[in-house]
Structure 1
Amino acid sequence: MSFTRRTFLIGAGSGVSLLVLTACTIDPKPDPSPTPTRTTTGLVPAPAAMERSAWGDDTLARGSVSYMAVGSTMEHREALGSALIDRVFFAGEATSTTNPGTVLGAQLTGNRAADEVTAASDPSERIAIIGAGAAGAEAARVLALRGFDVVVIEARKRVGGRVATVVATDWPFPVELGAWRLSPVTDGDVIAALEQLDVSTVSLDGAAQVFRSPTGETDSDPVSSTAMSTALQWAQGQQRDQSLDDSLDQSGALQTASEYSSGEVLGDELLLQHLASLATIYGADGSELSSWFTVDDTQPSTLVTGGMTRVVAESLEGVETFLSTTVVGVSYNERRVSLRLGTGESLSVDRAIVTVPLGVLQHDGIDFDPLLPFSHRTAIASLGMGTVDAVWLRFDEPFWTTDAVIWNLVGTDDLVTTWFNLEPLTGEPVLVGLVGGDDATRFELLNDDELTAALRETLAPFAS
């Protein structure tokens, strides 16, 4: 079962809600009322500047973050990170069993791979690192400090990988199109490193949020967290893993949520928007996410506004790095590793660390000879690779009438329903929209003019 804003399916599951939603401060669901006419886009000016990502369409990423698909396990992540005859090593957030999907998780796996290389070799050896993202940069930093001859090979024209900072004169601060939302629980060390580099961040602690629908508005969602807790708790008692959507349905949480509202905002609409926000974390919809491994955490506490890429670039300082150089093949034996480059040339090294995103491996972006072991291939096929896209809009002056920092659009067919209003935090009229899962795929199909028109309509309710 898959839930969408266009068709909200109330399944016939026989499960009973484990947690009672009536304990929330919510009102009975009101009688349906006609949907008011949408505010015209004339109230929303064309943005003065726009930047957008397209991670799903990026052949060097094929997505933005790994996630636990139904049936996948942490053993798959561990298997993906295991070395090949102590010659080829793997790192990256997809190989993390403690902090998957995070910058810190990527860095920790880079450190782990560096330790594995150190244990298997001596500093006279030449080590190639494929990828200059957070994992590759950390591995390079550690090995260089230990005296190894290190070379980093990066297919992009820049370092950072899925940490992507855009610096332009028509923006008041760097634009982050990749990782930029951090939590002290999962990214504490990254936040500390940013502080040491004097990279500015803004805190969302206590930030106001708003949920706005065609029928009303509320500043809280008392329904979704309880529904999610019910579903995830119910799933833990099942014999087999299943999707988050199925657990919401079969646990009874979905039907219970549909019977309540917060003011004039309907409970089922709030839950759908909660799932849309969750998709901007995992990059996947509830129909794809594992109920056993999904954590219901949609609100970061810190946003980076001073250049996230600096935390990667700092680690590569002084390390030989080749940009715009693609590795398309890795051949290995008990003596050497040969890297086949996109130019047709080859590079021979003693050992190599592969840090390319899971999506690249899933699309056979690198040809391994001999073929990867079955355990690696199983892991690559079992884990999910999701897409989270961002769109940054700068206006000459605010057109909106709310001081809320976090905006949630509910009960609409709009693609981008999760927004951050940076004006109260930075003083600049900048809005950042996030979209994940299937909506991100549709988002990427729109050209800039089509997207601008769609977003002006999306944002129109905040101008009224």
Structure 2
Amino acid sequence: MPPLTRRAFTLGAGVLAAAPWVGACTNETPGGSGEHVVVVGAGMAGLAAARRLADAGVMVTVLEARPRIGGRTWTDTSLGVPVDLGAAWIHGTQDNPLMDLVAEIGADTVETDFENVTVLDRDEPVPDADVEAAGSAWADAMDEIYRAGADAGPQTSLADVLARYVDVDDPLIQWLITSTVTAEYAADPAELSLRWFGQEGELDGPDVLLPNGYGQLVAHLSRGLQIRPDNVVTRIDHRGATVTLTTTQGTVTADRVIVTVPLGLLKTGAIAFDPPLPEAKSQAIRRLGFGLLDKVVLRFDEPHWAAEPDVFGVVGADAPVSDVVNGLRFSGTPLLVGLRAAGNARDREALSDRAAVEQVRTALGLPEPTGALVTRWAADPFARGSYSFLAVGSSPDDQRALAEPVGDRLHFAGEATQEEFFATVHGAYLSGLREAERILD
């Protein structure tokens, strides 16, 4: 089997401490003197930038549209056990800056293995030999696809060449495509650039979960920061010697601003820039892709499935989810987290929670759960999706253009601006540090 990796946006279950970040938020204007930097967005990129600047003695204000911090890292405890509805895994432990944060707070980690999978077809296990054969064919096809990408034009998609190398009508191949491509990149093959497919960087070491959740890293980064929640930025005027931000709670003036909102939000034009952004940046925002990965979480009083596999794969052209993460493996809790991505997720966001849960429950042959959660990241007004990808017609040049400051006062960070590690939490974190260091230099 090829590795079933997950770079972002998967389950995190564990014992999460009460949300200590609430005490770090304030509506007071920070004191002190000297340059004032405003950070727009309290996700991982924004908190990384604010933490670095504040530690260097810079006066920093973080404006966050939501009533909570963390952005696309979001731990929910309403089912009686923490579930990360956004990012949860640390992807690669070697030279990963997030591991420094883990060490600072003494957090526990648990290795996970996405090759430890049981594939289901109409709630019945598919023979291992069949899965292995399909996996071998898919691995061979991937080698050919990577070679084809080296000579591909900018408008060629991954979907344009799939049938050349693999039987796309084979149900197991369809699942492998959905699991290892669509759920990995939060995009359908027709959306993905063949030229840049698989060109992102990867860190060595295992994928690990934080048993106590990403919330502990968010809390650690936010300690003592001046954070203003429920503060939606609608306009950024960067014409003069200072920057003026128009928000739902009034105006804020700063010497510099770092915009860390998701690419999906930038695509909507929800924040107006005066003067408008340079053409290269505007075109980068338009060309880069912003994908979708949603979850359906089912909680039970007792398990009705095997404790061994980390993941259950779900075969079927109309399967409501492609993969289901086994909470027994990581929390000891009878919890399942179904993943669905791209078009499958977009099509099903209109379903009610009850209908979404019923589809997954039926596909897995399970009784009624005692609780459930359903995410809709595309409908989230402050995200409009999950994470970025290199779409047909885009290139790393667009990621670099998105990362470029505008003049001396307007900066940009976020996973979509990180060329090597886009679509990851460590990529977002590194982008925040990059802009903080740019200002400090």
TM-based fold match above 0.5: yes
CA contact (8 A) 1:280 1:437 kept: yes
C-alpha root-mean-square deviation of aligned residues, in Å? 3.0
Structure 2 residue 220 is matched with structure 1 residue 314:
yes
Cα distance change, pair 313–206 in 1 and its aligned pair in 2 (3 A) = closer
Indicate conservation of the 8 Å contact 2:51/2:221, yes or no.
yes
Equivalent pair of 2:111/2:209 in contact (CA under 8 Å): yes
Q: Residue 37 of structure 2 aligns to a residue in which SS?
A: strand
What residue is the counterpart of 2:233 in the other structure? 327
Which residue type is aligned with residue 295 of structure 1? G
Question: Residue in 2 aligned with 1:254?
Answer: 166
Q: Which residue of 2 aligns with 1:96?
A: none
- Residues 1:390 and 2:295 are matched in the alignment: yes
What's the CA shift for 1:449? 1.1
Which one of the candidate residues 132, 144, 147 is aligned to 2:57?
A: 147
Give secondary structure in 2 for the equivalent of 1:450.
helix
Give structure 2 stretches of 5+ with no counterpart: 2-6, 11-32, 369-441
TM alignment of 1:9-408, pairs within 5 A: 124-168=34-78, 170-172=79-81, 174-184=82-92, 188-205=96-113, 208-214=116-122, 216-218=126-128, 220=132, 221-249=135-163, 252-255=164-167, 268-277=170-179, 278-295=181-198, 301-343=207-249, 345-401=250-306, 403-408=308-313
Q: Cα offset for 1:149?
A: 1.0
How many percent of aligned residue pairs carry the same amino acid? 31
Distance in 2 between residues matched to 1:225 and 1:235, nearest whole Å: 15
Provide the residue aligned with 2:432 in structure 1.
none
Q: Note if contact 1:159-1:309 (Cα within 8 Å) is conserved in structure 2.
A: no
**Offset of residue 134 of structure 1:** 0.6
Cα distance in 1, alignment partners of residues 137 and 44 from structure 2: 37
The answer to whether the 8 A contact 2:231-2:247 is kept is: yes
In 2 relative to 1, CA 206–248 (structure 1 residues): closer, same or farther, beyond 3 Å?
Answer: closer
Runs of 4+ displaced beyond 6 Å:
100-103, 296-300
| Partners of 1:228 and 1:296 within 8 A in 2 | no
Asked if the contact 2:145/2:165 (under 8 Å) is kept, the reply is: yes
Tell me whether 1:455 sits opposite 2:360 in the alignment. yes
Deviates more, 1:321-330 or 1:278-287: 278-287
Alpha-carbon displacement from aligned partner over 1:1-42 (angstroms, at most 9, x marks no partner): xxxxxxxxxxxxxxxxxxxxxxx9xxxxxxxxxxxxxxxxxx
Give per-residue Cα distances to partners, 1:329-366, cap 9 Å, x unaligned: 000124010000124x2111111111010011100010
What's the secondary structure of 2:71's corresponding residue? Answer: coil
Task: Please tell me the residue identity of whatever aligns with 1:409.
Answer: V
Change (3 A) 1:156 1:393: same
SS at match of 1:142: helix
Q: Which SS does the other structure have where 1:223 is aligned? A: helix
8 Å CA contact 2:154, 2:195 repeated in 1? no
| Residues 293/461 of structure 1: CA separation in 2 closer, same or farther (3 Å cut) | farther
Shifted more, 154-163 versus 426-435: the winner is 426-435
Distance 2:113 2:244 in 1: 49
Deviations 1:418-455 (A, max 9, x none): 11112134322111111110111123111111112111
1:76 aligned residue: none
Post-superposition Cα deviations, 1:261-319, rounded to whole Å, max 9, x if no partner, equal: xxxxxxx2222112222222211111101112222999972233312122122112111
Tell me how many residue pairs correspond in the alignment: 332
SS of the residue corresponding to residue 315 of structure 1 reads: helix
The 1-side partners of 2:114 and 2:270 are apart by 43
Deviations 1:231-281 (A, max 9, x none): 1211212344511111213xx2124x76xxxxxxxxx22221122222222
* 8 A contact 1:423–1:430 mirrored in 2: yes
The structure that has the greater radius of gyration is 1
Distance, in Å, in 2 between the alignment partners of 1:206 and 1:435 is: 16
Deviation at 1:125, TM superposition (A): 1.0
User: In the aligned structure 2, how far is the partner of 1:462 from the partner of 1:234?
Assistant: 46
Q: Secondary structure at the match of 2:214?
A: coil
Q: Which runs of 5+ in 1 are unaligned?
A: 1-23, 25-99, 104-122, 259-267
